[in-house]
Chain A
Amino acid sequence: MSHTFPELVIGGVLLAPFATYLAMALVVIIVLRPLLHVVGFAKIFSHAPVAQLSLYVTVLGLLMLLF
């Protein structure tokens, strides 16, 4: 059985499922930020921006896989 992606409809406008996932992943990252600060995420890596981008991609992939 293939995985079906939910479509978001706002006022009769269909949004691509991928756009929804992008926004969801962004929300997850924003919610995680205080936690990342507490564990010192930025100090663990030599290039924190790359690590953060990777984290974003991971969250995006997980969301697409699970929901």
Chain B
Amino acid sequence: MVATTAEQPFTVAKIPVSSWGFAIRVWLAIVLALFVSFWLQLEAPTTAALTVVVLAEPTRGQALDKAGFRLLATVVGVTASITLTGLFTQTRELILAAFATWLGICIFAATVLDGYRAYGAVLSGYTVGFIATQQIDNPHHVFESGMARGAAIVVGILSIAAVNALIFAPDRQSQLAAQLAALHRRVREYAGAVLRSEPGNAATFLTLLREIMALRPEITSVVLESSSGSVRSAAARSAVVALVAELQAARTKRDSESETSAWAARELLRRNDDVRQNLLALRMGRWPLRTWKAPLYRSYATAAESGVRAAAWFAIASIFFVSAGWPAANVSLSFVALFAALGTTSLNPRAFTILGLVGAPITIVLTGILEFIILDGADAFPLLAIALAPFTIGAALLMTSRNLLWSSLGRVFLPYMMLILAPSNPQTYNPQAFLFTSLYIIVAAALLFAAQTLIPPVSDEKRRTRLLAKARNEQQQFRPNGEAPEEATFRDASRIEQFLAAGGAQDNRVLAEMLSCFDQSTTLRLCDAKLMKFAAGPLASLAGDARAAIVTRDASTLRAVASRFRKLAPQKDSIEADVAACLVLTSDIIGAGVGDDSSRKAA
């Protein structure tokens, strides 16, 4: 995003050409998917069109990445449907409880994952809703229904992949390289601003951190784009990890000409060099010198709670439908599973449900116009393709809007339209089916909203408290675990990013503590890693003493070891001098921590 704002894109009707290209690709892919499904006489052509809608991502790599997870999740979901139906086919209450549990497990998995992996996890959850719940009264149809869905999804994926390849959808990789280069430039500017002690640095740091972390899930999208995708993805991942390390290093004070300041400046230069090397590897398409993983901080307690709550929402809806005894309530129940599952991948599940509730009536009116006024009994495929054009292109253009509300409405409109229109060959134009589907969607969204009001999603405050407790705990009980310090720093940064996503920017005091834990843990790990380098040399016993002192939090031993290293250093920027400076910094942190503890005890 950063790189594209610099130049004004060419626009048609005030909309960039790239957005028009995207919208037309989506329309063509939907038409192709429907045509192939009709031609092959598939049982679920709607699912093929829906697959295209779901995979409507701006770049080729993202669409392919999401397609892979959609296919994998469908296989998992269909297997789970068959297993659950086979186990509890005679007991309706147990089968509903089993669906709720499965949905909860999938949402747990989605909460600890990110990007399209999380989407894959929720899809495994609601696939059970679409296959097993809809066929709850005819369990012998579960397998056929699963196969029909799988075939339609494959057709959808092939359609969008072919359209994206032939109509030159942009590649993620070139954008990613530009975005990373721009971020690198801004991180360097930030380092300069910290050196000059300019105001507003804290906000800049948080913005940069969030922007860097937002790129993490997109890096895997590069893998499928070209034959050199995996190499470029590894380079981009290492670049992102190195960028976070540089951003962290830029925070360390470098104001006076003390030993630690000089070390911090050298450290920053080294980090800057790492990023440059990785960015070069990304542009050239070769392996980076060091490949780093980009681990994510996973809050299992929050994830488990989200899973339990989602299972409870599904259970409440099931109880309502069972006691209401409506015919075809199972279709509505499957929509509840869909909304509950997809909502957990958004930041605010309840806002997602409200959006669904608001978007449904608008879509119903527009789809009604399309089905009963524009098409009105037409049975020729070209007419369907032409009639779909304004609706799909319009919605896809909305999706590319910078306004969050418009883009969310576009994202909601397209799948709803396909669900309600349910294109089939021949099209039935049945007003009753239209009304029932519309009603099911609205009832499902309303019921889920009621359930979410009764049992609200995990609150932001609770998330923040858990994240802070974990950060504090890790900093105070530092144990080296053999992980590269850069990777561990990245994981900590992802925790801060989750803290910010849970509304942490308003909570200044706690945010300051999170950041101080982040800096201190990084220094401790870096010091430990530097000492590890001496493990095989003549200074092994000295380094061993220092490492043991870090674990036992013995500041005085650390200072003593630091002074011995300083005496042994042949020159000012040797590795021994680095270790001495690092040890001094570590002993300060540990000393301050011990002081804090004793003052707390005294209080």
Contact = CB atoms under 8 A, between A and B. Distances in A.
B231 A49 contact: no
Contacts of A24: none
Nearest to B164: A49
Interface of A is mostly: helix
B572 to A, nearest CB: 44
Contacts of B154: 19
Contacts of B227: 32-34, 36-37, 41-42, 52
Contact of B165 (A36, A37, A49): A49
A50 interface: yes
Interface residues of A, number: 16
Of A33, A34, A52, which is in contact with the most chain B CB atoms at under 10 Å from its CB? A33
A65 interface: no
A41 B229 CA distance: 12
Given A36-B227, A49-B226, A53-B162, A42 B168 contact: no
B427 interface: no
Nearest to B168: A47
A35 to B, nearest CB: 8
A42 B171 CA distance: 12
Contacts of B169: 49
Contacts, number: 39
Contacts of B231: 37
A28 interface: no
A63 interface: no
Contacts of A42: 226-228, 285
Of A34, A36, A48, A49, which is in contact with the most chain B CB atoms at under 10 Å from its CB? A49
A14 B104 CA distance: 34
B226 A52 contact: yes
B342 to A, nearest CB: 28
27 contacts: A13-B147, A33-B227, A33-B230, A36-B227, A36-B228, A37-B227, A37-B228, A37-B230, A37-B231, A37-B285, A42-B226, A42-B227, A42-B228, A42-B285, A43-B285, A48-B226, A49-B164, A49-B169, A49-B171, A49-B226, A50-B168, A52-B165, A52-B226, A52-B227, A53-B162, A53-B165, A53-B166
4 closest Cβ pairs, A-B complex: A36-B227, A42-B226, A49-B165, A53-B165
Given A37-B228, A42-B226, A48-B226, 4 more contacts: A41-B226, A42-B227, A49-B226, A52-B227
